[in-house]
């Protein structure tokens, strides 16, 4: 089957972490560690048990936060404030990607399971924030993370997005299932293999999933290719 092209795309939707910056930056590793610390302190369990709970909830609920809210009544504000207190300095400006995004025809939006505060810091470090119309974060999603179907529907409604003329860029294949079903053209962003990445094995799977239309290990180069082909 031929993968859909980008000829009619007028809305470009990007995940944030491990999508708009390379996996090997391992920025998310800092968040991951603080999530474990939060869970351990909140539940008063050792680090290894906190880690087990963290990853179990992540797989079952979409985010560890959703699991902690559902299972233990955690307040989202407290959780988000703690886990996003990280050092963003490993991120370097990416003017080439910014230029490529700027040249894409139409609107550019971010759909993330993180917070707007975290997204703003990432975009500022990358130097690409000016190219995006809006950030749809976990608060806008009423604390229901991707891949929950209602999150995508709410995003589409709030920003008046036509999925049939939209493209979605993500680093997790499972987060592309609903967009694909809705008619979006999907792109899975994977590690380039040059440097070790700190991810769960299942997070790096899915390149051959039916929901994945295109795969790239170089988002900037991929976007430049789209511009050159237009």
Task: Look at residue 168 in the predicted model and tell me its pLDDT.
Answer: 98
Residue 3 has pLDDT above 90, yes or no: no
Task: Look at residue 198 in the predicted model and tell me its pLDDT.
Answer: 58
Q: How far apart are CA 51 and CA 62, in angstroms?
A: 16
Asked if residue 63 lies in contact with residue 97, where contact means CB atoms within 8 angstroms, the answer is no
Q: How far apart are CA 198 and CA 73, in angstroms?
A: 29
Task: Look at residue 195 in the predicted model and tell me its pLDDT.
Answer: 62
- pLDDT > 70 in the chain, percent: 93
Residues 6+ apart with CB under 8 A from 105: 9, 10, 230
Q: How far apart are CA 175 and CA 147, in angstroms?
A: 5
Least-confidence region, from 16-20, 133-137, 224-228: 224-228
Cis peptide bond N-terminal to 5, omega within 30 = no
Reported as a single tens digit per residue, the pLDDT across 87-142 is 999 999 999 999 999 999 999 999 999 999 999 999 999 999 999 999 999 999 99
Q: Which domains does the chain have, with CATH numbers?
A: 11-24+91-229 (3.40.50.1000), 28-83 (1.10.150.450)
Reported as a single tens digit per residue, the pLDDT across 45-101 is 999 999 999 999 988 998 899 999 999 999 999 999 999 899 999 999 999 999 999
**What SS3 state is found at 134?**
strand
Asked if residue 187 lies in contact with residue 170, where contact means CB atoms within 8 angstroms, the answer is yes
Comparing C-alpha atoms, which of 123, 110, 100 is closest to residue 223? 100
- The token duo for 138 is 């976990």
Distances (CA, A) of 187 to 8, 44, 72, 167, 212: 15, 40, 35, 7, 6
């Amino acid at each position: 089957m031929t993968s859909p092209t980008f000829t009619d795309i007028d809305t470009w939707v990007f995940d944030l972490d491990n999508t708009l910056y390379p996996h090997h930056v391992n920025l998310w590793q800092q968040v991951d560690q603080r999530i474990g610390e939060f869970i351990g302190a909140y539940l008063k369990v050792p680090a290894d048990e906190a880690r087990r709970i963290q990853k179990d909830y992540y797989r079952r609920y979409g985010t560890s936060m959703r699991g902690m809210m559902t299972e233990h009544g955690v307040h989202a504000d407290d959780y988000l404030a703690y886990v996003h207190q990280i050092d963003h300095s490993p991120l370097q400006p990416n003017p080439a990607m910014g230029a490529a995004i700027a040249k894409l025809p139409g609107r550019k939006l971010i759909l993330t399971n993180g917070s707007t505060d975290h997204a703003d810091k990432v975009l500022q470090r990358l130097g690409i924030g000016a190219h995006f119309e809006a950030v749809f974060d976990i608060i806008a999603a009423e604390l229901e993370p991707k891949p929950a179907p209602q999150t995508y529907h709410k995003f589409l409604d709030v920003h008046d997005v036509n999925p049939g003329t939209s493209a979605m860029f993500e680093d997790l294949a499972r987060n592309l299932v609903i967009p694909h079903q809705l008619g979006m053209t999907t792109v899975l962003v994977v590690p380039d293999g040059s440097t070790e990445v700190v991810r769960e094995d299942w997070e790096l799977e899915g390149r051959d999933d039916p929901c994945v239309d295109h795969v790239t290990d170089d988002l900037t180069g991929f976007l430049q290719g789209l511009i050159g082909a237009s």
